[in-house]
Amino acid sequence: MKSKNLAITFLMLILCSSLVLGFGVSSKYFRGYPLEAYPGQTLEYSMIIDNVIGNQEAIVTAEIVTGEDIATLKDRNPTYTVPAGAKVNVPMIITIPEGGAVGGEYAVEVKFSPDTSADGGGIQIATGAQRLLPIKVVERPAEVEISQVEQGFPTSLLWLLLILLLIIVAYWYYTKKKKK
């Protein structure tokens, strides 16, 4: 009887809700598949807020809760308006310290909280989300020396121009000598 009353109460709570926010947060990198960066590297990375449930926009605030020593949100105002059925990027700037040990790991965790200050009365149901961005420190890639051929100026063309110049100079010298 008690569980039946609890189920009815929960059902009434949902039916009386005036606002149901349902958004998701996705990231290309996750535990077991970290973002790779080398010591001293600064890069931009975005997590994505996806408003897939409901038929109204979601207003979501992002906040870095772990890893604020290496990551900052790029936008000055970390509140994002996500239209129904749309996706919005949340860009971050990540800087790995110069002294970061190769093989070491960093973690950036971002908390996404819905704005539940919508009008309409009734009961509001909204949940937030937290997303972890693992970062693995790797060796800096070796600088690759680019040859003339790879730069787009073929060496054979240079030789051809040099030979053509020699022919022109020889022809000019020969015609000048013949006139005398």
Class of domain 25-137: mainly beta
- 104 token code pair: 């070491």
pLDDT value of position 91:
95
Please state the rounded mean pLDDT for residues 131-145.
86
- Of residues 34 and 120, more confidently modeled: 34
Count other Cβ atoms within 10 Å, centred on residue 53. Answer: 13
- Residue with the larger pLDDT of the pair 110 and 13: 110
Distance CA(107)–CA(37), nearest Å, equals 12
The pLDDT assigned to 54 comes to: 67
Question: What pTM was computed for the model?
Answer: 0.63
Q: What is the pLDDT of residues 46-61, one digit of tens each?
A: 999 888 776 788 889 9
- pLDDT, position 57: 85
Please state, rounded to an integer, the average pLDDT across all residues of the chain: 81
